[in-house]
Amino acid sequence: MRFHSLLLTGAALGLVVAFASPASADVILPAPNCGTVAGTNCLQFDDFTVYSLALLNFQAGAGPISPNDPFAVSTNGIALQNALVVGTGVAGAGSINSDVVPGGLADDAYRTPTAPGGGITNFVPNATNQGLQGANIPGNTSGTWDITVSALNTYLNGGNLNFFFNLNQTNSQTTTYLNSPEDALGWIQVTLRDTTGAHSAVSFWLDGDACNGVIGAPNSPNCNPNESYPQNNANNTILPVDPNHDEWAYIHGQICVSPAGAVVSFGACAPGDHVNSTVNQNLGANDAAFALYSNALQTALNSGNYDVMSVDFRMAALTDGYEQLLIFASNSIPTDVPEPLTITLFGVGLAGLGLMRRRKA
């Protein structure tokens, strides 16, 4: 059974899935069309396509995310109990994944930190911040979150592998080396291994090393240099030694968006800008801020060549805490509504995150 210390209240077109919950709503995630001009809806960070659910909600004409909006995707108690939790806040003492994937075939979640006393902190996966490891995962290590591919595919039930991340930074703290206390840094490496030795391991990254896009330029799908950050101080010099994957993905708490839905700049709109709108991506622990998908990872996962998946994820410049990384099966993606829900996914199916805990003011 899964316990928490708090009260918890793509690829294929036309995928329709259902999730039994108390209401009914449709969440339609558009086919990926990455870039920053009007009509685009995602950005490419190395191997991963990243959707901002707050931006999608704005582009849908719904404004800031609130319950019943088209892209209001949250994790309440039911949702979290159906997730594979890679990382969650320390107050929950980690999440036990054996009630979703039994038999010692998945690790428990890592416990992500909260910065003490108004400071900043970081996160590196290790044995001290992870719950129990899956006893029947070949070659399991404490430095990554692991699951057998067969157990993962059973959990996904024919759907695609989608990660979801929530940003829960403080609004008021000023102790940070980034542009805003709402910003943070993130990095993910997902590795597929064949423990029989027949196939070499393959890895897929979400980082800032390929951020060569140009804001406002057509046919520029990649993140731009403002969304990359070097390892330049004691708080963030924690990435593995790899010259091709040694830059952080810069996570902006706010972005500036034109009336047509184009990204004008990263960060809040300039003071006195009465034309464009500041879109908040720092949605707290109740709501998913970002949805992450890698087509290359999905192809490798479907190949049948690998038997273990390992996830290494790291964060820096953290303030409030309760940032979370989760995986949802495509037939149990939760939305922020109180009735049975049907989700129609066009393209990459993505959504989900959070405990019933808001970031500090």
Summarised one tens digit per residue, pLDDT across range 126-160 is 988 988 999 999 999 889 999 999 999 999 988 88
pLDDT for 321 equals: 84
**Which residues have C-beta within 8 Å of that of residue 285, sequence separation ≥ 6?**
89, 166, 168, 322, 324, 353, 354, 355, 356, 357, 358, 359
Q: How far apart are the C-alpha atoms of 88 and 321, rounded to whole Å?
A: 9
Is 305 buried (19+), middle (13-18) or exposed (0-12) by CB count in 10 A?
middle
Q: How far apart are the C-alpha atoms of 332 and 40, rounded to whole Å?
A: 27
The CA-CA-CA angle for residues 192, 31, 255, to 5°, reads 90
Rounded to the nearest angstrom, the gap between the alpha carbon of residue 3 and the centroid of all alpha carbons in its chain is: 22
pLDDT for 347 equals: 38
pLDDT tens for 101-134 read: 999 999 999 999 988 877 899 999 998 898 899 9
Q: How far apart are the C-alpha atoms of 20 and 342, rounded to whole Å?
A: 9
Q: Spell out the long-range contacts of 179-183 with Cβ–Cβ below 8 A and sequence spacing 24 or more.
A: 179/267, 180/252, 180/253, 180/254, 180/267, 180/268, 181/253, 181/319, 182/252, 182/253, 182/254, 182/282, 183/250, 183/251, 183/252, 183/253, 183/317
Residue 300 φ/ψ, nearest 5 degrees: -65, -40
Give SS3 for 90: helix
DSSP secondary structure letter of residue 91? G
Under-70 pLDDT residues of the chain? 1-29, 74-79, 91-94, 329-361
pLDDT for 331 equals: 58
Q: How far apart are the C-alpha atoms of 226 and 248, rounded to whole Å?
A: 11
pLDDT for 19 equals: 31
Q: How far apart are the C-alpha atoms of 3 and 271, rounded to whole Å?
A: 45
pLDDT for 213 equals: 97
Contact predicate 315/323, CB 8 Å: yes
**Residue 283: both structure tokens together:** 């949605």
Between strands 184-193 and 121-123, the pairing is: unpaired
pLDDT for 75 equals: 61
Contact predicate 281/287, CB 8 Å: no
Q: Which of 282, 51, 64 is nearest to 182 (CA)?
A: 282
Rounded to the nearest angstrom, the gap between the alpha carbon of residue 95 and the centroid of all alpha carbons in its chain is: 17
